[in-house]
Structure 1
C-alpha cells in the first residue's frame, strides 16, 4: 500500500557478477527508504568475457530471474521502473537478443549504460552519504567486467574513466604475477591521467569505494579486526589479503561466510585496491553502503533525496 504522499520505485542493476534490484519509497520528507532488495547470481560476465556472447541457457536464466523479480514486486504500486546493464551486456555480441527476450517475455526495458554514466550515477549516490564539498576525492567502483574511477572536486565530477579490468576478467589469469602486472599497469595509467588534473601533486582528501567487492572488504575488516565495515586502511587490507589468499574457495565460503560467487573474485579485487592505495599514497578507502542502484533511484526521482535509508 502507498500513502498519498509516497512514491515507490524499482531500480535494477544487471552487473557482470549478479543482478541486483531494490524497491524504495520516497516519502513526504524527501527521504528515500529502501524496503526490499533482491539478488540473482547470473554471472553474465562468465560468458561475455570468455566466449564473447551469451548462450541460450544464460539468456533463459536471465529471463527466469526477471520472471522471479516480477512476481516478487507484484504487490507494489510502482511509480517508475529503471533497469540498467553494465559491462557484460555492453561487451556481449548478442546482447540485443537478451534484451529483446526479457522485453518480450517479461516486459522489462533494459538500458545499457557506458562506464562514464555508471560512474556519474555512483557519484550522485555517494554524495548523499559522504560530504564531497570543498574536497578532492577519488572514487572507485570494482565490477566483474570493469573498474570505474572518478575524480570529484567540490561535488563535481571533473574526470572519469573506465577500464575493462574487472574481477571476473582477472579470474582467467592463471599466474598471480601476470594479474599483479596488469593491475599495476592500470593504476599507473590512471595516475598518469589524473596527474593532468593535479599538476601540483596535492594529496587527495578522500578515496571512496563502491560495489559488492568493496562492501565485502569492509565486512572482512569487521571480521578480522572487529572494526567498522565503512572503511579499510591500506595496512589492514594488505594483512587481510594475505590471510584470505591462503584459504581455498571452500574455506572462504565456510569460515568467512562468503557466497561462492564472491569468494572466487575477492582476492583480485583486493589486489586492485591495494595497488591503488599504494600508488596514490592513500592511507585508507571509505566504504559507504551505496552504489549504482542508489544512483539509479536518484536518476528516477530527478532530484537528490534528503537521505537514503537502507534496509
Structure 2
C-alpha cells in the first residue's frame, strides 16, 4: 500500500530552542499517523544567553541552513510544509530578521506560536499516541527555552501553562554546561521552586489521573532509566511506563556527575545533550517531586505530531465549512463575548466582507488562510469599544494583539489585529509601529483585507443592517457592489455614503475602481 497517495502529506517542522525537527507524515481515515520520514538537527538557536533575547548571527546561519535542508527533503516528498517556532524565536528581539531570511532562502513562512498554543499542539500530539482521551492527563514537555504543562480531558484542555524554564535557559543562567557543584545545583533548584511552586499548587488543585512526558530531555532520561534498571530499550519508546522513583534515581546519577566528561560516560545519555542535561534534569526533578502520582508514560508524539494533526484538521474543516475551524471560531467568539462586541453588527459586516472577498478573488489573489483572517478581524473589529469609543480601532489592535488566542499563531494574531486596526480612520502607513513590524508580504495582505473590511463596515454604517445583502460583480478592473436594502427601511443613503468614504484603500491596493448601486 502506498500511503503517500492516500491523504495529504504534511511536512511539519518544529523550530525549537535546542533542536529542529522535521516529520513528513500523513493521517489515514482512522486517524492513524503514518510517518514517511523524520529528521533532527541540534541547532542551538537559543544559545545566546539566559533570557534568549537575541539570535546570534551564527545561530541564524545554522538555523537557515538546517531549514533549507529540511524544506528540500519535505518538497521531495511533495509535502505541504508548515514550520512552527517556539521559545527562542518568539522571545528574540531580532526574530523578524531570522523569519525574513528563512522566507528568502526557502520560500516558507515561519509561524511563531505562543506558549499556550505550543501547549495545545503538544496535547494534540500526545492524545494521538496514548489511550488517554478518557483520562485527566497531565502532560509535560521540557524544551530548551520553556517547559509546557497541560491538563487535558476528552480532547479539551482544562489547563495550560508555559514557563520560561528550559534546559538551555537554565544551563546558561547557572553555568551548568561543564563543572557543577552543590551550590550551583541548589541555586538552580531554588529558582525553579520560586518560579513554579504556585503553578504546581494550581495543577494539583485541578487534579489528574496520569502523567505523560514528552520531548528530548524526558525521552533521553527515560532511556537512561531503562538501562539503569537493566531493562531492554524498545525500538519504539512510546507508551513506556516508568516508575517515578526509578526516574529520580537516574536524575540523581546525572547530578552526581560533576563534569561534562563524567556525564558523557553515563550509560544512555545522548552526547549532544550532555552539556544541557543538568538543567533539564532539575526541571524534571521538580515535576516528579511535586506531583501526586507514582508512574509516568513516555510519549514520542508531541509538538510536531500535533502540527500534523492540527494542519489536517484545519484543512478539512475549511474545505468543508468554508469558514473558521471550530477551535479558532470558539476563540474569536470567546473574545467577542468577553469584550461585549455587538455581534449582530459584526457578523453582518463579516458576511458582507466575505462576499466581497469571494467575488474579487482573482483581483486580490488571496486564499483560504487570508479569508479566515478577514473573518476573524471582521468579528472583532469593534472590540476596542470596550476601552473607549474614541480611537476604538487602535484599542481593537491592542486587545487582539495581547489576547491569548488558542488555534492562532502569534503572527496570525498580529495580522488580525492590524486588519481590525485599519477598519476606519488612517490607511496603513509604514511609520505606524504596528504595521512596520510586519514583513512586506504581510503588509500587502493587511492592506487588501483592511480595504475590504472598511467597505463592509461602511455598508453597515448605522449598525442597523439597513442594507440586508450585497451583490458583487467584478468586470476587469471595475468592481460593482449593489446594496440591497432591508424591507421596511428608509433609503440607505448613510450606508452608501459610508461605503463611498471607505473604498479608497481597496482601490489603491488592487488598482480597481469600486462603484456602488442600490437595488432591490
TM-score, normalisation: structure 1: 0.87
Q: Which of 288, 293, 304 is the aligned partner of 2:299?
A: 288
Partners of 1:76 and 1:61 in 2: CA distance: 23
Give a deviation string over 1:168-210, Cα, whole Å, max 9, x none. Answer: 1111214111111112223411123335535xxxxx3101111
Question: Mapping of 1:178-197 within 5 angstroms?
Answer: 178-194=187-203, 197=206
Partners of 1:292 and 1:249 in 2: CA distance: 29
SS at match of 1:47: coil
Unaligned 5+ segments in structure 1 are 199-203, 304-311
- Aligned length, in residue pairs: 299
Other-structure match for 1:102 = 102
Give a deviation string over 1:252-299, Cα, whole Å, max 9, x none. Answer: 334435444311222322222222222223212211111101000001
More displaced stretch, 253-262 vs 157-166? 253-262
Deviation at 1:63, TM superposition (A): 1.4
Partners of 2:20 and 2:14 in 1: CA distance: 6
Other-structure match for 1:201 = none
Q: Which structure: larger Rg?
A: 2
Partners of 2:96 and 2:111 in 1: CA distance: 11
Distance 1:225 1:73, change over 3 A: same
Give a deviation string over 1:234-263, Cα, whole Å, max 9, x none. Answer: 211221122222333234334435444311
Other-structure match for 1:235 = 245
Partners of 1:188 and 1:55 in 2: CA distance: 33
Give yes or no for the alignment of 1:25 onto 2:35.
no
Higher-helix-fraction structure:
2
Give a deviation string over 1:37-76, Cα, whole Å, max 9, x none. Answer: 1112111111164562112222222111122223333421
Other-structure match for 2:62 = 61
Other-structure match for 1:215 = 219
Partners of 1:113 and 1:286 in 2: CA distance: 26
Give yes or no for the alignment of 1:176 onto 2:180.
no
Give yes or no for the alignment of 1:40 onto 2:41.
yes
SS at match of 1:45: coil
Give yes or no for the alignment of 1:297 onto 2:301.
no
Work out whether residues 21 and 39 of structure 1, in 8 Å CA contact, stay in contact via their aligned partners in 2.
Answer: yes
SS at match of 2:174: coil
Unaligned 5+ segments in structure 2 are 176-183, 315-520
SS at match of 2:211: strand
Partners of 1:100 and 1:66 in 2: CA distance: 13
SS at match of 1:7: coil
Deviation at 1:212, TM superposition (A): 0.6
SS at match of 2:48: helix
Question: Mapping of 1:86-125 within 5 angstroms?
Answer: 86-125=86-125
Give a deviation string over 1:206-246, Cα, whole Å, max 9, x none. Answer: 01111111111111112111336523222112211222223
Other-structure match for 2:368 = none
Question: Mapping of 1:230-269 within 5 angstroms?
Answer: 230-247=240-257, 248-269=259-280
Partners of 1:176 and 1:164 in 2: CA distance: 18
SS at match of 1:232: strand
SS at match of 2:206: coil
Work out whether residues 48 and 54 of structure 1, in 8 Å CA contact, stay in contact via their aligned partners in 2.
Answer: no
* RCO comparison, higher one (Cα < 8 Å, 6+): 1
Partners of 2:267 and 2:197 in 1: CA distance: 32
Higher-strand-fraction structure:
1
